[in-house]
Chain A
Amino acid sequence: MTRYTSVTDDDLREMLAEIGVDSVDDLFADIPGALRLERQLALDPGRSEQEVYDELRALAQANVSTEDEISFLGGGMYDHYIPAMIDSIVQRSEFLTPYTPYQPEISQGGLQAMFEYQTAISELTGLPVSNASVYEGPSAVGAAGYVAKLEKGRRRFVVSPALHPHSRETLATMAGGWGMEVVQASLAGGLTELPELDEDVSAVIVQQPNFFGVVEDLEPLAATAHAAGALFICACDPLPLALLKPPGECGADIAVGEGQSLGNRLDFGGPSFGFFAATEALMRRVPGRIAGETKDVDGRRGFVLTLQTREQHIRRERATSNICTAQALNALAGVIYLSWLGRAGIVELVELMMQRTAYARTRLAELEGVSLLHDQPVIREFAIRLDAPLERVIASCREHGINPGYPVGRDYPELTDCLLVAITERRTRAQIDRLVEVLGAAVAANRRSTEVKA
Chain B
Amino acid sequence: MNLDPKLPRGPLADKWLEHRNHLRLVNPSNKRKFTVLVVGSGLAGAAAAASLGELGYQVECFCFQDTPRRAHSIAAQGGINAAKNYHNDGDSVFRLFYDTIKGGDFRSREANVYRLAELSLRIIDQCVAQGVPFAREYGGLLDNRSFGGAQVSRTFYARGQTGQQLLLGAYQALCRQIAAGTVRMFPRTEMLDLVVDDDGSGPRARGIIARDLVTGRLERHAGHAVVLATGGYSNVYYLSTNAKGSNATAIWRAHRRGALFANPCFTQIHPTCIPASGDYQSKLTLMSESLRNDGRIWVPKDPGDTRPPESIPEADRDYYLEVRYPAFGNLVPRDVAARNAKQVVDSGRGVGPQRNGVYLDFADAILRRGSAVIEDRYGNLFEMYEKITGENPWVTPMRIYPAPHYTMGGLWVDYNLMSNVSGLFVAGEANFSDHGANRLGASALMQGLADGYFILPATLANFLADHLGEKLSPAGPSFDGVEAEVRQRLGSLLALRGQRSPESFHRQLGHLVWHACGISRTAAGLEQATSEIAALRREFWQNLRVSGAPAEVNQDLEKAGRVADYFELAELMCRDALDRDESAGSHLREEHQTPDGEALRNDEEYAFVSAWEWQGEDRPPVRHAEPLHFESVELSRRSYK
Indicate whether A and B interact: no
Spell out A's residues near B (CB within 8 Å). none
B residues whose Cβ falls under 8 Å from a Cβ of A: none
